[in-house]
Amino acid sequence: MVGKLRETISELEEELGMKEKCPVVIEQREVAGIIIKLVSRAGYGFIQTRDEDLYFHASAILGIDFEDLRLGMRVKCIRVRDLTRPSDKGTQAIGVRVIE
């Protein structure tokens, strides 16, 4: 089932000429954590949560520029798991926003 879904989405992405792949979210949950790693030259980082470390891309940040993020900042984000496209960087975070 998941394989057929991924195939259908890939066909639509190609038909629409999309450069970025559409995420197929299998699971999502809001979590809090702290920024533990930033890779400025590549535009991504990692958030440590109670359960696991989450990968995030600069495009997933809300309300602040990637360049203004600092290690140790507390954030909330949406943890997403896409079982059709596992990432070598791990589970992904989207909607990352700094909290006080």
Q: Contact, 65 vs 31, CB < 8 A?
A: no
Does residue 16 lie within any of the structural domains? no
Q: What is the pLDDT of residue 54?
A: 94
Which residue from 83, 81, 85 is spatially nearest to 94, judged by alpha carbons?
81
Q: What φ, ψ does residue 56 adopt, rounded to 5°?
A: -140, 150
Q: pTM of the predicted model, to two decimals?
A: 0.71
Convert the pLDDT of each residue in 31-58 to its tens digit: 999 999 999 999 999 999 999 999 999 9
In this predicted structure, the answer to whether residue 1 has a pLDDT above a threshold of 60 is no
Convert the pLDDT of each residue in 59-92 to its tens digit: 999 999 999 999 999 999 988 876 656 667 778 8
Which is more confidently placed, 18 or 29?
A: 29
Structural domain harbouring 90? 23-98
Q: Which CATH number is 49's domain given? A: 2.40.50.140
